Amino acid sequence: MDDYPLLNLFWTMLWFFLWIMWLFLLFKVIGDIFRSHDISGWGKAGWLILALLLPYLGVLIYVIVRGRSMGERDIKQAEAQQAAFKEYVRKAAAPDGEGAPASSSVDELSKLADLKAKGVLSDEEFQQAKAKFLA
């Protein structure tokens, strides 16, 4: 145990975690390069070559040059995902017509018959409501 002191272990762990953080940043930059619509194909190829051939310097240059637009694209994508999720929830929770299955006419007529039997609806109101569901 004496041949690898505790301080060296801490330095090794620090360098390992910095390397892992850099890998995450590298994948984030590569993803952003392909997601960006304002760069041409040749521009994407150039940034990719720079990020892969000069890994640390290329990623650092990309973050310095395009960091602001990278953040804006992340925000735009998060907002689009949130809007899509809200739309899905709205459609799934809608009672009729907007995506959730509508309850059948038989169920509705059964409810109307119960209301009529309890005296809540008159015969005329029952017939009008029944005509709406059957139409």
- pLDDT at residue 13, rounded to an integer: 95
pLDDT confidence of 113, banded at 50, 70, 90? confident
- Every domain of the chain and the residues it spans: 6-102, 103-135
Closest Cα partner for 112 from 103, 125, 102?
A: 125
* pTM across the whole model: 0.56
CA atoms within 13 A on the CB side of 119: 0
**CA–CA–CA angle 115, 121, 124 (5° rounding):** 135
Return mean pLDDT, the chain.
85
What value does the mean pLDDT take over residues 89-105? Answer: 65
pLDDT confidence of 118, banded at 50, 70, 90? confident
- pLDDT at residue 1, rounded to an integer: 52
